[in-house]
Structure 1
Amino acid sequence: MTIKQSFTADDIQVFLVSNLAKLLGVATDEIDVTEHLENYGLDSAQAMILVSNLEKLLGFQPSPLLLWHYPNIEALSQRLAEEVQDGSPVQDTKVVASNANTAPSILDLGAEAVLDPTIHPGAASNVAIDEPKNIFLTGGTGFLGAFIIRELLQETNADIYCLVRAVNAEEGKSKLQKNLEQYAIWQEEFSSRIIPIVGDLSQPLLGIGSEQFQILAANIDTIYHSAALLNYVFPYSALKAANVLGTQEVLRLACQVKVKPVHYVSSVAVFESTAYAGKVVKEQDEFNHWEGIYLGYSQTKWVAEKLVKIARDRGLPVTIHRPPLISGDSKTGICNTHDFINLMTKGCLQMGYFPDVDYMLDMSPVDYVSKAIVYLSRQKESIGKAFNLQHPQPAALKMLVEWIRSFGYSVEMIPYEKWQSELINNVTSADNPLYTLRPFLLERWSDEQLTIPDLYLQARRPHISCQDTLHALAGSSIACPPIDSQLFMTYTAYLIQSGFLNIA
C-alpha cells in the first residue's frame, strides 16, 4: 500500500510544467498549461517518464491514459488533485506477473476502413507533374520526416511545405529548424525552401481552415505523408484522429482542385495479424486480416493504409512505403534516443540482463529508409505499388548482445520469464528506461494472455519479403547497410558521445 500525498492543483501544475519543459528541453515559460499535450509531440516513452515522475510526487502511479482523457496540464492537474485531496490510501499499481489482463474488446478494423465517398480524384483536373515545384509534407518534426526533408531538398528543386503544430508560422519554422538541427541536417541555404503550414493532422481539413486548404490544394504538386502519432500505450480510439482521420484529410487534399500523388509512409505492422504468422508476405500482397493486431498504433496503420488503397482504387496515384523499426543514420550514428530499440538497449544494460528470446533485429537505418522513399516515389513505375523497407538481412538479438559484450559491457542473457521477474522486482524507477516501457512489456493480451513481446517472437511473425523493393532500387546506388559490428560500433559511438550511454 502507498499513501497518497496531498497536493493542490496548482502544486501539480507547477510540477508538470517543470517536468515537461525538462523533457522537451525548453524553458518553463514556453509551456502553455491549456495546450493539448499531444501538440508538444510527446512520444510514448516521454509520456511514461512524465507518469513515472508523477508517481514519485503523488505516491501512486496514475494511469497513462489520463494523458488522453485530460489532455492538457490544467485539466490533468485538476483531476489528479481531486484524486489525492482526501489523502486516503490507494493500492500500489505495480504490474505483477499474476495480474493478467483480460483480452480487450474486439475492434472490427475492417469496419473502420471506410473512406469518405466525396474523396475522389475524378472531381479534380488531372495534372501530371514530373518535377514538382511545391511539395506538401507531414511529419517534418519527426525523426524520419527530418531525413525525408533532407532527401527532398537534395534531390529536387521544390519548396517543402511542412504541416506543423504551432501558434504561428514563426514558431512552426523554429520547430522544424530545431528538429533538423538535432539530427545535424539543417543547412541555412535551405531555409527559404522550408515553409511551415500551421495546422493539426488530427483536425478536419488538417486544422488549416477551408480557404487555406483550397489554396494549398491548388499550389501543391506532390504529397509525402509520413506523420503519425506513435504511442505504444494508447488504444486505437486515442490515436484514430491523427493516424486514421488525418490520413483521410491528406487524401482529401490530394483530390481537391487538381490531382496530387500521395506517397504514404505506412508500416510493416499492417502484417501483424496472427493469420500471417510464419508466412511469407510480399509487397503487393493484400492484408485483409486484422485479427490479432493488439497495439493501438498498429491498428491505426492497418486502417490508414486501407484508406490509401481505397483512394488508389478510385484513381488517385499513390505509393506506399512500409518501414520496420527505424535505426540511426548508418554513417553518423545519429538517432532518436527515445525510440524503442535504444530505450530497450540502455535499460537492459542497466539491468545487466537481456531476455534470451528468438528475436531478429530487422531495423533499417533512417538514411536508407528516407533515400529509398524519395527515390521510389519519383519513379513512374512505382505508382500504385507498395514497398517493404524491411532489412534484407536481419540479425539475431544474440548477435547484438555479443557486440555489446565486445565493447566491455557486462551483460547476461537469461530466460524471458526470469527477465520479466527482474523487470518487475528490480526496475522500480524511471532511472531505468525500461520502467517507462513496463505497460508495453508486461501487459497481457489475447486469449492466450501473452505480452506484446511474446506476440513478437519470431515463430509468431510473418516473413516479410523485400525482394521487389530491392529490385526497384537496383538501378540506384541505394543499398541497405548490413547489421554488423561496424554499424553497431557507429551507433554505440554516437550514443556514448551524446551522453545517452555510459562508457563501459
Structure 2
Amino acid sequence: MRTIFVTGFPGFLASALIPTLVQRKASPRRVDCIVLPHLLDSAHQRAQEISTKADCEIRVFAGDITDIRLGMGNEYGVVTKECSEIFHLAAIYDLAVAKDVAERVNVDGTRNVLAFATDCPELDRFHHISTCYVSGRFDGVFRENDLQTGQAFSNHYESTKFESEVLVHDAASSGLPTTIYRPSIVSGDSHTGRTQKMDGPYFFVQWMLAQPRIAVMPVFAGSREATMNIVPSDYITAAIATLSTGRDRPLRVYSLADPSPLTIPALTQLLAHATGRRVLRVPATRWLASALIRSVSHLHPDMDIPGEAVNYLAHPTHYDCSNTLQDLEGSGVACPPFAEYVDRLVGFVRDESGFGRRRL
C-alpha cells in the first residue's frame, strides 16, 4: 500500500495538514508519522481523532530525525518500502534557539530525512516545508528562485533553515523530485484564531493586551517602512495540499506569503483596534526595543516574547510569490487579508491565556 510519510507530528501544522493531504484526488489513505518517544501518547490520541474524521489510517512510529535511519530500528525498512511521498515539517521554530540545537534538528535532521528518501523505492516526491526567512535580511524583493544571495541572518533559526534548504536543493539537483514551500510568519487558523504555540503575530497581540488602555510601541530606524508578512495556518495547509499535486517539474519552490503584506504602522493600528488599545509610539534603537521587550516579558506570567522578535519590526525583505499565485489560480485557495481575521486571533489569546484581564 502506498503511503505518505510525515515528520513534525503531532505538531500543529502537521496535524492540520494530514486531513487535507488525504482528501486530494487519488491520494494514499495511509499516513506514517515519525514521532519523538516522549510524544507518543499525545500522537496516538491525535492520530485517532484525525483518522476518524478524515477516514484514513495513521500509523505512528517512535523515532528521531536527528538519528541515523531516523532512529526507527527494524521499522525503517517497513516504512521506506511503501512510502510514495514525504512531507518534511519537523524543525525547531524558535527565534532564540541555540546554534547547536538548531543545527542538529534543522540541518542534520533534514540530511537524515533526505537519506531516508533515497531508501524509498516507490517515492514520487519529496516535499520540504522551509520558510521565507531563508532570505535572512536580504534588502529588496526575494524571489522564489533565489536562495544563496550572500544574505546575513538575524538568528540561528533563519541560518539553519537556510542550510537545510541548500541540502534539499542539492538533492533535487541530483535527481530527487522536490517541492519546497516557504511560509512567511504563520498565525493560527483564520476562522478560529486557534494555534498551538503563541508566537509570530501573537507576540504582538500579547504585548498590546498586557498594557492597560495605552500600549507603548517602540519605533526605530526601518520600522515605519517595513512590512510584516503574516499568513494563517489554514491557508498554508490548503496551499500545500493543492500545490503538492503538481508533478510536472523536477523542482518547484513556492513562497506561501501574503502578496499584499501590511506595513508595521498599518499592522499596529489593526492590532490596536482589535485589542481596544491606543498606541503610544516611542522612539528607540533596536537594542533598546529588544531590551524593553525582554524586561517586560519577565514581568508577566504568561508572556514569553523573545527580544529577537524586534528584528521583524524592521525586516527589509519583500517576498515574491509569483509561482504560488500562478499555480493556485482557479483552485479557490487564496491568502485572506490579515484584517479579516485579526479579531479571531485576539479573541483566542484572550480566551486561552487571560491576557487583557491580567495586566502589568
TM-score category by the smaller chain?
0.7 to 0.9
Deviates more, 1:348-357 or 1:140-149: 348-357
Equivalent-residue separation in structure 2 for 1:316 and 1:239 (angstroms): 25
1:165 aligns with 2:28: no
* 1:441-464, Cα deviation, whole Å (9 max, x unpaired): 5xxxxxxxxxxx357624xx2221
Cα offset, 1:500, TM superposition: 4.5
Cα offset, 1:142, TM superposition: 1.6
TM-score, with length taken from structure 1: 0.63
1:494 aligns with 2:354: no
Instruction: Flag the structure with larger Rg.
Output: 1
1:175 aligns with 2:43: yes
* 1:60-99, Cα deviation, whole Å (9 max, x unpaired): xxxxxxxxxxxxxxxxxxxxxxxxxxxxxxxxxxxxxxxx
* Other structure's SS at 1:411 match: strand
Equivalent-residue separation in structure 1 for 2:34 and 2:347 (angstroms): 33
> Does the 8 Å contact 2:243/2:327 carry over to 1?
yes
State the one-letter code of the partner of 2:253. A
Go from structure 1 to structure 2 and tell me whether the alpha carbon gap of 1:360 and 1:334 turns closer, same or farther (over 3 Å shift): same
State the one-letter code of the partner of 1:319. T
Equivalent-residue separation in structure 2 for 1:300 and 1:270 (angstroms): 8
> Does the 8 Å contact 1:133/1:159 carry over to 2?
yes
- Structure 1 partner of 2:130: 266
Equivalent-residue separation in structure 1 for 2:189 and 2:53 (angstroms): 22
Cα offset, 1:157, TM superposition: 4.3
Structure 1 segment 348-387 matched on structure 2, within 5 A: 348-351=208-211, 352-356=215-219, 357-358=223-224, 359-387=226-254
Equivalent-residue separation in structure 2 for 1:345 and 1:264 (angstroms): 30
Cα offset, 1:136, TM superposition: 0.3
2:148 to 283, 288, 291: 288
- Structure 1 partner of 2:301: 431
State the one-letter code of the partner of 1:234. V
Cα offset, 1:343, TM superposition: 2.5
State the one-letter code of the partner of 1:380. R
* 1:452-494, Cα deviation, whole Å (9 max, x unpaired): x357624xx222100221001103111111121x311222233
Equivalent-residue separation in structure 2 for 1:412 and 1:420 (angstroms): 17
Q: Larger % of strand: which? A: 2
* 1:355-391, Cα deviation, whole Å (9 max, x unpaired): 2333422111111111111111111235411001111
Count of matched residue positions in the alignment of Structure 1 and Structure 2: 345
Equivalent-residue separation in structure 2 for 1:491 and 1:338 (angstroms): 10
Go from structure 1 to structure 2 and tell me whether the alpha carbon gap of 1:336 and 1:344 turns closer, same or farther (over 3 Å shift): farther
Cα offset, 1:400, TM superposition: 3.0
Structure 1 segment 291-330 matched on structure 2, within 5 A: 291-330=151-190
* 1:168-188, Cα deviation, whole Å (9 max, x unpaired): xxx62533534x79xxx8463
State the one-letter code of the partner of 1:166. P
Runs of 5+ consecutive residues of structure 1 not aligned to the other structure: 1-131, 442-452
- Structure 2 partner of 1:94: none
> Does the 8 Å contact 1:403/1:488 carry over to 2?
yes
Cα offset, 1:299, TM superposition: 1.2
- Structure 2 partner of 1:152: 21
Structure 1 segment 126-145 matched on structure 2, within 5 A: 133-145=2-14
State the one-letter code of the partner of 1:277. D
1:393 aligns with 2:248: no
1:277 to 139, 147, 150: 139
Equivalent-residue separation in structure 2 for 1:409 and 1:229 (angstroms): 33
Go from structure 1 to structure 2 and tell me whether the alpha carbon gap of 1:277 and 1:157 turns closer, same or farther (over 3 Å shift): same
Equivalent-residue separation in structure 1 for 2:100 and 2:332 (angstroms): 41
Equivalent-residue separation in structure 2 for 1:218 and 1:427 (angstroms): 49
TM-score, with length taken from structure 2: 0.86
> Does the 8 Å contact 2:68/2:112 carry over to 1?
yes
Runs of 5+ consecutive residues of structure 2 not aligned to the other structure: none
State the one-letter code of the partner of 2:36. R
* Other structure's SS at 1:378 match: coil
Cα offset, 1:322, TM superposition: 0.4
- Structure 2 partner of 1:416: 284
> Does the 8 Å contact 2:205/2:349 carry over to 1?
no
* 1:95-135, Cα deviation, whole Å (9 max, x unpaired): xxxxxxxxxxxxxxxxxxxxxxxxxxxxxxxxxxxxx8310
Cα offset, 1:301, TM superposition: 0.7
Deviates more, 1:154-163 or 1:407-416: 407-416
Go from structure 1 to structure 2 and tell me whether the alpha carbon gap of 1:470 and 1:412 turns closer, same or farther (over 3 Å shift): same
The two structures, once aligned, show a CA RMSD in angstroms of 2.7
2:270 to 377, 393, 403: 403
Equivalent-residue separation in structure 1 for 2:176 and 2:88 (angstroms): 14
State the one-letter code of the partner of 1:431. P
Cα offset, 1:213, TM superposition: 1.7
Cα offset, 1:499, TM superposition: 4.0
